[in-house]
Amino acid sequence: MNSLFDLTGRIALVTGSSRGIGNALARALADAGATVVLNGLSPERLKAAEAAMAADYAPGRVHSCAFDVTDDAAAASGIAWVEENVGPLEILVNNAGIQHRVPMLELDVKDWERVISTDLTSAFLVGREAARHMIPRGRGKVINICSVQTDLARPTIAPYIAAKGGLRNLTRAMTAEWAASGLQINGIAPGYIHTEMTQNLVDDAEFNSWILGRTPANRWGTVQDLAGPAVWLASSGSDFVNGQTIFIDGGMTVVV
C-alpha cells in the first residue's frame, strides 16, 4: 500500500459500527492496517459483529466497546477504556445515527431531541473526549458522518436535517479550535446508501425510481463507495485537509 494511506499501527474507534455504514467503515480502516474498536448500543449485536470481524483479521486487531454516544459519562468512560486497553486513539469516526420520519406538525419534542442528541450532540461528546487525549499528543483524525441532508431538505425528517446541517458546522467549529494542535477534522456526507436504515426506501418502487432519476450516477451508493474517502481522511494523505465535508453522493447535490 502507498505509505500515504497506510494505517498500520493506528487505533481507530468507529461509533455505531455493529452494522451498516459504520461496520463497513471499520472494515475499510482495518483493511488499510488500523486496529479498530467497534461501538454500538446493543452489547449482543456488538459482540456478534466483533466476532464476525475478528475472524478476518490477525489477533488483537478488532475490539469492541459498547456505550451510548448520547451519554456524556458513558462517552468519557468509553474513550478511557480504548486508551487503557487498546492504546492511543488516533482516528475517531462519529458515525452513530438514527432517523425518525414524521411530518413536523406531528413531531413530538422528545423525538426531536432523541434525533438531535444521537446525530449531533454525540459527535460533540465523543469528539471532545477523544480530542482531550489527541491534543496533548499533537495528532488525530476525526471524521464526522454527515449526509446529503447536511445541505438539502426533504419533508418529514426535520430533526435529521437540522442535526446533519449542524454536524457540518460542528466540523468547522472543531477545526477552528483543534486544527492548530495537529488534528484534522472533516466530514463525509454520503448520498443514498443501501443499508438496513434505507431498506424500506429501496423497497418503495416510487421512491426508488425518484432516487435513480435524481442521482446523476443513476444508482444507490454502496458502503464500499465510502471506503476510499474514509481511508484518505483517516490517513496522512489528508494532513492539510481541514474542516471540509466531502459529498459522496453520485452527484445528487450538484444537480437540480
Using an 8 Å Cβ cutoff, are 7 and 234 in contact? yes
Closest CA to 42 of 57, 20, 59: 20
Using an 8 Å Cβ cutoff, are 148 and 139 in contact? no
Closest CA to 144 of 254, 245, 42: 245
Closest CA to 15 of 29, 31, 33: 29
Q: Is 252 in the site for ligand NAP (CB under 6 A)?
A: no
Task: Tell which one of 13, 32, 62, 118 touches ligand NAP (CB under 6 A).
Answer: 118
Task: Tell which one of 64, 147, 175, 215 touches ligand NAP (CB under 6 A).
Answer: 147
Q: Is 54 in the site for ligand NAP (CB under 6 A)?
A: no
57 is catalytic: no
Please say which residue, 61 or 194, places its beta carbon nearer to ligand NAP: 194
Please say which residue, 110 or 138, places its beta carbon nearer to ligand NAP: 110
| Piece of 2-10, 67-75, 100-108, 202-210 that binds ligand NAP (CB under 6 A) | 67-75
Closest CA to 122 of 84, 156, 167: 167
* Catalytic-labelled residue, pool 67, 124, 160, 232: 160
Site for ligand NAP in 206-245 (CB under 6 A): none
Q: Is 20 in the site for ligand NAP (CB under 6 A)?
A: yes
Q: Is 97 in the site for ligand NAP (CB under 6 A)?
A: yes
| Piece of 2-10, 14-22, 76-84, 175-183 that binds ligand NAP (CB under 6 A) | 14-22
Task: Tell which one of 184, 186, 198, 238 touches ligand NAP (CB under 6 A).
Answer: 198
Residue with the three cell numbers 474514509: 230
Using an 8 Å Cβ cutoff, are 169 and 212 in contact? no
Q: Is 248 in the site for ligand NAP (CB under 6 A)?
A: no
* Sites of contact with ligand NAP (CB under 6 A): 15-22, 39-42, 45, 68-70, 95-98, 118, 145, 147, 190, 192-193, 195-198
- Residues catalogued as catalytic: 160
